[in-house]
Structure 1
């Protein structure tokens, strides 16, 4: 859903760019400049890859962790909706029972 000017890169390209940063000893900015891509894009890919490999100790979630968090948030939202419905039903039946 990005802008029509947003470039899309293949997973293979991203992997190769990350490998180039790892193997060349150059900075992310230098490699991005050589490849003609945004340094922020490459930095994001690189940080995500490090987190997925378990190398990042900065609190970045792995892909599996992000997916689990998404699943748990969805489940929590559904349970909150169920609780709300049950509370309304309970209030309704208490009111009906008092008549």
Structure 2
């Protein structure tokens, strides 16, 4: 289970909206202090919002991140199932081996 988030989603949305609608753009550090959040947290939120809006190409969008996490989870499940099937086939191959002596 994921750790609880330190800042509520409403605060994140409001902080990003305040930054994006301000003209001129305020310093991230000053805005973070005013809102009571860590400057690097605010910087990350702004970058993610820019990626979601298609303004940045160096980060995955939220939807892409969710899809990647789901695919990684599915891949891990398939790998576990594959290992189980390999072990089962090896076990049954030994049982069906006619050259092996049975006592």
TM-score between the two structures when normalised by the length of structure 1 = 0.80
Aligned residue pairs total: 94
Cα 1:91–1:8 change in 2 (3 A) is closer
Which structure's CA Rg is the greater one? 2
CA RMSD of aligned residues (A): 1.9
Name the CA distance, whole Å, in 2 between partners of 1:22 and 1:73.
33
Could you tell me which runs of 5 or more consecutive residues in structure 2 were left unpaired when the two chains were aligned.
Answer: 99-103
Q: Which moved more, 1:79-88 or 1:89-98?
A: 89-98
Could you tell me which runs of 5 or more consecutive residues in structure 1 were left unpaired when the two chains were aligned.
Answer: none
Q: 2:10 matched to which residue of 1?
A: 12
After TM superposition, what 4+ stretches of structure 1 lie above 2 angstroms from structure 2?
7-13, 33-37
Q: 1:47 matched to which residue of 2?
A: 47
Q: 2:31 matched to which residue of 1?
A: 31
Q: What is the Cα deviation at residue 70 of structure 1?
A: 1.1
Q: What is the Cα deviation at residue 23 of structure 1?
A: 2.4
TM-score between the two structures when normalised by the length of structure 2 = 0.77
